[in-house]
A and B are shown apart, each in its own frame.
Chain A
Amino acid sequence: MTMLEIHNLHVRVGGKPILQGIDLCVNAGEVHAIMGPNGSGKSTLARALSGHPDYQVTEGEVSYEGRDLLAMDPEERARDGVFMAFQYPVEIPGVNNAYFLKAALNAIRTHRGQEELDAIEFMALMREKSTLLEIDPSMLTRSVNEGFSGGEKKRNEIFQMAVLEPKLAILDETDSGLDIDALKLVANGVNAMRSPERAIIVVTHYQRLLDYIVPDVVHVLSGGRIVKSGDRALALELEDKGYGWLEPEAAAAAPAAKA
């Protein structure tokens, strides 16, 4: 079943066109990897899908479970099961991590017609999920991401995903800044969520993550377009040859760049 269908998506940031016609189709149960050089627009795609107000869609459509995703506010998307793990999670001083996550979970549960969790049920859930990701319980009582190391921030994102149980998860460079042990933990966390009802989009620079989270499809994003798609082997090829060999294709596929 098609979960996410992106057609001819154009996105501008700060007046500058970044995405120039993305087409992408993700089915429930699949894991897609998106790779590509720095500045190619990977985070732009992730943010546009989660509804960041600075990312202006100028053309194209996105349908999520048959609904017009672009017409939804960021919180509506989240409540309907879209989750983005941020490349650079923001620090929010003074907002307790557990308090925030409880508010988020209950907003989502209420939207789904489920009862809100009380403090005891919530703590039990936190314990279960934090064990899975080996999250130090003290992280839960600290302010959201404040003073967290780069790796802790990334783990906290995956922890939130595990608690919120989205249908569509977009992980933006969750592997960068992680040592190999943390990478395995994160990969385990993600793999534990793989299910026939759920789709996952993994944005990464490194083939390494894909050894642990094995994708069904790999896409290469360059110059604001998907210039190549393939299976796992494509990721290995990229690892070998870099992105340079795709440039001519990218250039051929892209319309003449405007100043």
Chain B
Amino acid sequence: MTRLVQSSPQTDAYLADCDRLVTARSATEPSWLRNLRRKGIEHFADAGFPTTRDEEWKFTSIAPIADRHFAPAHDGQSGLTTDRVESWAGALGGYRLVLVNGAYAPQFSVGGLPAGVHVSSLRSILATNPAAVEPYLGRFAPPDRQAFTALNTGFLQDGAFVWIPPGTIIDQPISLLFVSASPETASVSHPRVLIVAGDRSQVRIVEGYVGPPGQEYFTNAVTEVVVGSGAVVDHYKLQRESQRACHIGSMYVHGTRDSTFSSHSIAFGGALVRNDIIAVLDGEGGDYTLNGLYLVDGRRLIDNHTTIDHAKPHCGSHEMYKGILSGHARAVFNGKIIVRPDAQKTDAKQTNKALLLSDDAQINTKPQLEIFANDVKCTHGAAVGQLDEDAIFYLRARGLDLQQARDMLIHAFAGDVLNRIRIEPLRKSLEEHLLSELPAAGGPANQQ
């Protein structure tokens, strides 16, 4: 790993950091991993950070990430208490794996697992049984296509690995909690998650990203989900990073015959947030649901890019993203649906709605349908609006105060997404969190 393209001062520092990582680890890691890593960092070196001239990043300037250097996060010395981690994790039951600054933190990890189910840090499986992950790692998240995924691959060293054996049904959720906490320096972690759900297995997975309020850091996460035939995977991503953090998260989902996958992407935190979901329906009879809810205020920005790739016939996809914007917040939604020539009888539905609580909030929303088959049903709809003043008056005329009325309407707006969350304590805590985070009535968001 000597080839370092001196492309720009922005990328140089990352290349140097990566070089150090490679030197430190090359003795112990398998060659396929070294190759994967090299592909990633080379692509990053060639392509550099995306700019707004790039169609995929048109509305999202990543200058807050590119214009400074985030040092690799160090494990330990985080000063975290168990109470703190517990409060972030919530009482969801089930098994919990915690990583701090991208590294496994056994002291915060709890719970038991059913026989045969494997959940561990990625680092430990790479050390003990790399053959278990080799067929999957980097296969659905190509190291050479998207800059941040490439960067993550270049720095790939730890994260989480979940393996559900065929036919296994787990009713308790598996939580993967990624904590960023490095008060001294603005640092970056590149957590990597690999979830392999065997044929006919069923599992609920909660991926959480958190950090102490006010801390500046950068999380660059990549998740790969492999859904076996007849498997049912219910995936929750809760992004509650510090309001000054940058979060780039890319999830790659690959499902074979009769696979059912639902994603619930809840984003409350972060100063600059970009979520990509690339979901491929690569077997007949697949059914995917992508739901999202984000809450963004101040001068924060949240960008959700989703791609649903219908590669085989007789698959359905349902997508519903909802955003609540206030202050000077900005949001981007780009929903791409590809229907390949083979994928007849596709039934795809996409809905995107945004609620603007202030005049200065702004959303750019774009459906992007690329349909190459003729016998398909594809619908999409987008709506951007304010709270219904008539509804507010109606509620007030019945005795609710302005705050209650607004909360009730916002809660109803978010309900389409929150009501589909099947982990009861999680749904409850998100509802409470939503209401506590809403801008107060009579505040700037309410001025006419």
Give me the interface of A with B, judged by CB distance under 8 Å.
50-53, 73-75, 77-79, 83-84, 86, 89-90, 92-95, 100-101, 103-105, 107-108, 111, 143-144, 160, 164
Contacts and interface: CB of A to CB of B under 8 A. Distances in A.
Contacts of B411: 94
Interface in B367-395: 388, 390-391, 393-395
B401 A90 contact: no
A52 B396 CA distance: 9
Given A90-B394, A108-B399, 6 more contacts: A75-B400, A95-B408, A95-B412, A103-B404, A107-B400, A111-B399
Q: Which 6 A-B pairs have the closest CB atoms?
A: A94-B412, A78-B399, A104-B398, A74-B396, A107-B399, A90-B390
Contact of B409 (A52, A83, A95, A104): A95
A90 B388 contact: yes
A93 B388 CA distance: 11
Contacts of A77: 397
B399 A94 contact: no
Contact of A50 (B390, B397, B402, B404): B397
A92 B396 contact: no
Contacts of B399: 75, 78-79, 104-105, 107-108, 111, 164
A51 B397 CA distance: 8
B391 A78 contact: no
Nearest to A79: B399
B415 interface: yes
12 contacts: A74-B397, A75-B401, A75-B402, A78-B399, A84-B397, A90-B388, A90-B391, A90-B394, A93-B412, A94-B413, A103-B400, A143-B412
A104 B398 CA distance: 6
B41 to A, nearest CB: 47
Interface SS majority for chain B: helix
B416 interface: yes
B394 A75 contact: no
Contact of A86 (B388, B394, B401): B394
Contacts of B415: 94
A50 B412 CA distance: 25
Contacts of A73: 396, 401-402
Contacts of A83: 397
A98 to B, nearest CB: 13
B393 A107 contact: no
A83 B404 CA distance: 18
Interface of B: 388, 390-391, 393-402, 404, 408-409, 411-413, 415-416
The listed residue with most A CB atoms (<10 A of its CB), out of B390, B391, B399, B416, is: B399
Given A52-B393, A78-B396, A94-B413, A100 B401 contact: no
The listed residue with most A CB atoms (<10 A of its CB), out of B396, B398, B413, B415, is: B398
A81 to B, nearest CB: 10
B412 A92 contact: yes
Contacts of B396: 51, 73-75, 78
A54 to B, nearest CB: 8
B21 to A, nearest CB: 49
B394 A92 contact: yes
Contact of A89 (B394, B408, B412, B416): B394
A94 B388 CA distance: 13
B116 to A, nearest CB: 41
B432 to A, nearest CB: 16
B409 A92 contact: yes
Nearest to A143: B412
A107 B401 CA distance: 9
A104 B396 CA distance: 9
B408 A100 contact: yes
Nearest to B413: A94
Contacts of B402: 73, 75
A249 to B, nearest CB: 33
A147 to B, nearest CB: 15
Contacts of A144: 394
A78 B397 contact: yes
Contacts of A92: 388, 391, 394-395, 409, 412
Contacts of B393: 52-53, 74
A141 to B, nearest CB: 14
Contacts of B413: 94
B412 A164 contact: no
Contacts of B404: 103, 107
